Amino acid sequence: MDSKSPEGEHPSVTLFRQYLRIPTVQPEPDYGAAVAFLEERAHQLGLDCQKVEVAPGHVVTVLTWPGTNPMLPSLLLNSHMDVVPVFQEYWTHDPFEAFKDAEGYIYARGAQDMKCVSIQYLEAVRRLKAEGHRFPRTIHMTFVPDEEVGGHRGMELFVQRPEFRALKAGFALDEGLANPTDAFTVFYSERSPWWVQITCTGKPGHGSRFIEDTAAEKLHKVVSSILAFREKEKQRLQSNPHLKLGAVTSVNLTKLEGGVAYNVVPATMSASFDFRLAPDVDLKKWMEPRITGTDNSDPWWAAFSGVCKDMNLTLEPEIFSAATDSRYLRAVGVPALGFSPMNRTPVLLHDHDERLHEAVFLRGIDIYTRLLPALASVPALPHNS
């Protein structure tokens, strides 16, 4: 374990809190300060640093630790820089102060989602380099913008760039979720977001009449049908204790639009729905999510789960119920696992008083310090040789 700082705080925790204080909050994240912070880390660690501007003001920062066999596909450690907005009046402490209470809980937006993982990657690499290790596979750490608003000016564009292809990613780790039990959650797939707006047209007229074939009547049938499907999926989840949320398709009516006045029957009305499609939904090919292997015949899973077994960590493999940047990686053929090493911790991403205990954070560095050597030493796979 590293030495303590003069104030008695672990230097890794100090660095974590420093990163949390950078207000990379949507809708106007300070990406410039975050990139400068990461460039400084690269300089201190002796890592190559590449900045790829995928959209104006949206930079993907890549820190690289070369492997001894650069011909092998690399290990990609991904995290996002941005965090979701806050309602400051509901917070016990300033969400960008990174306040640490007497018990060791660090309160900050991004404490769980996912600035903890970014620093855990960096600190695990720092430890391993300081100990003189080298591994066959190159390790790339990517820090991407805009994940919290869909990744459309972040990972979605980056995976199409020649700079991404040059990384030769063979396997990736990305974000997961806290687990309130002793176990650690690991995500091998995720539901696909599908946002649908349905617009119905009908006969307009005066609000005092029984007009036939109105837009509202047509929309009512559509809404009723989709909400009936929602109830069916909800019942399927509730009736089967073995199913998790990610295994069923959720849908919610999120917007209703139409009309100009109380006494005018509108010619058009629309409803917007947020679908989260389970991986087994047979839809158009471009929407089908990839599934990362989770049996021991898969060398990546064998390396990952083997370390966890050696450390007596219980894993709970699941399908992620929301969406992360992993979907863009899987879509271009890079297997990815979503993993944030936080157990005995309530799930507080996007919530008021988001916080993480410093002991859980430090334990995560220990876990990555064991995971990275195993994953970066996976032998050449048959199709790579």
Q: pLDDT truncated to tens, each residue of the chain (385 aa)?
A: 344 444 689 999 999 999 999 999 999 999 999 999 999 999 999 999 999 999 999 999 999 999 999 999 999 999 999 999 999 999 999 999 999 999 999 999 999 999 999 999 999 999 999 999 999 999 999 999 999 999 999 999 999 999 999 999 999 999 999 999 999 999 998 887 888 999 999 999 999 999 999 999 999 999 999 999 999 999 999 999 988 898 899 999 999 999 999 999 999 999 999 998 887 776 554 344 578 989 989 999 999 999 999 999 999 999 888 789 999 999 999 999 999 999 999 999 999 999 999 999 999 999 999 999 999 999 998 876 5
Q: Look at strands 74-80 and 169-174 and give their pairing.
A: parallel
Strand order in the sheet with 74-80: 48-55, 58-65, 139-144, 74-80, 169-174, 336-338, 184-190, 315-320
| Catalytic, out of 113, 147, 174, 358 | 147
Residues 6+ apart with CB under 8 A from 356: 105, 106, 111, 112, 116, 178, 342, 345
Burial status of residue 356 (CB atoms within 10 A of its CB: 0-12, 13-18, 19 or more): buried
Cα–Cα dist 194/327, whole Å: 13
Look-up of token digits 């995720």: 190
For residues 144 and 152, is the Cβ–Cβ distance under 8 A?
Answer: no
- Rounded Cα distance, 145 and 152, in Å: 9
Q: What is the C-alpha to C-alpha distance for residues 237 and 245, in angstroms, rounded to an integer?
A: 7
Q: In whole angstroms, give the CA distance from residue 43 to residue 25.
A: 25
Among 29, 226, 234, residue whose Cα is nearest residue 144: 29
Please spell the DSSP secondary structure of 295-347, one letter per residue.
STTSHHHHHHHHHHHHTTPPEEEEEESS--THHHHHHTT--EEE----BS---
Torsional sign, CA 238, 344, 151, 291: negative
In b/e form, how buried is each residue of 56-75, taking b as 16+ CB within 10 angstroms? eebbbbbbbbebeeeebbbb
**Known catalytic membership, residue 147:** yes
Structural domains for the chain: 11-190+289-376 (3.40.630.10), 192-277 (3.30.70.360)
| CA distance linking residue 33 with residue 47, whole number of Å | 19
Residue 172 has phi, psi (to 5 degrees) of: -135, 150
Q: What is the CA radius of gyration of the chain?
A: 23
Cβ pair 63, 77 in contact under 8 A: no
Give CA–CA dist 245/333, Å, rounded: 25
- Those residues whose C-beta lies under 8 Å from the C-beta of residue 1, and which sit 6 or more positions away, are none
The first and second tokens of residue 329, run together, are: 């990686």
Handedness of CA 284, 286, 287, 293 (dihedral sign): positive
Question: Is 103 annotated as catalytic?
Answer: no
Pair 357, 112: CB distance under 8 Å? no
CA distance 112 to 107: 10
By three-state DSSP, how is residue 220 classified?
helix
Distance CA 191, CA 290 (A): 10
